[in-house]
Amino acid sequence: MSMTRKRFDHINQRIAEAMQNSQRSADSPVTLLAVSKRHSWDKIQALYELGQREFGESYVQEALEKMKQSPHKDIIWHFIGPIQSNKTKDIAPNFHWVHSVDRLKIARRLSAQRTTHETLSKPLNICLQINISQEPQKSGFSTDEIFTAIAEIMTLPHLKLRGLMAIPKPSKAPAEQKLAFKQLRELMQQLNQRFNLQMDTLSMGMSGDLEAAIAEGASIIRIGTALFGPREY
| Residues lying near ligand PLP in the complex (CB under 6 A) | 35, 37, 58, 80-81, 167, 206-207, 222-226
- Between residues 138 and 158, which has the closer beta carbon with respect to ligand PLP? 138
Least distance in Å: CB of 189 to ligand PLP?
23
Is there a contact between 107 and 153 (Cβ–Cβ < 8 Å)?
yes
Contact status, residue 57 vs residue 78, Cβ threshold 8 Å: yes
Nearer to ligand PLP (CB atom), residue 81 or residue 168: 81
What is the spatial distance between Cα 35 and Cα 33, in angstroms, rounded to a whole number? 6
CB of 175 to ligand PLP, least distance (A): 21
User: Which of 51, 94, 96 has its CA nearest to residue 201?
Assistant: 96
Q: How far is the CB of 216 from ligand PLP (least distance, A)?
A: 17
Distance from the first to the final alpha carbon of the chain: 25
Closest residue to ligand PLP: CB criterion: 224
Which of 63, 94, 57 lies closest to 78, judged by CA?
Answer: 57
Q: What is the DSSP letter of 130?
A: B
Burial code (b: 16+ CB inside 10 Å, e: under 16) for 49-82 equals: eeebebbbbbebebbbebeeebeeeebebbbbbe
**Nearer Cβ to ligand PLP (36/111):** 36
Q: Which residue, 112 or 226, has its beta carbon nearer to ligand PLP?
A: 226
For the bound state, the minimum distance from the C-beta of residue 123 to ligand PLP, rounded and expressed in Å, comes to 22
- Residue 4, SS3 per DSSP: helix
We find the least distance from the C-beta atom of residue 222 to ligand PLP, in angstroms, to be 4
Q: Which is nearer to ligand PLP, 143 or 225 (CB)?
A: 225
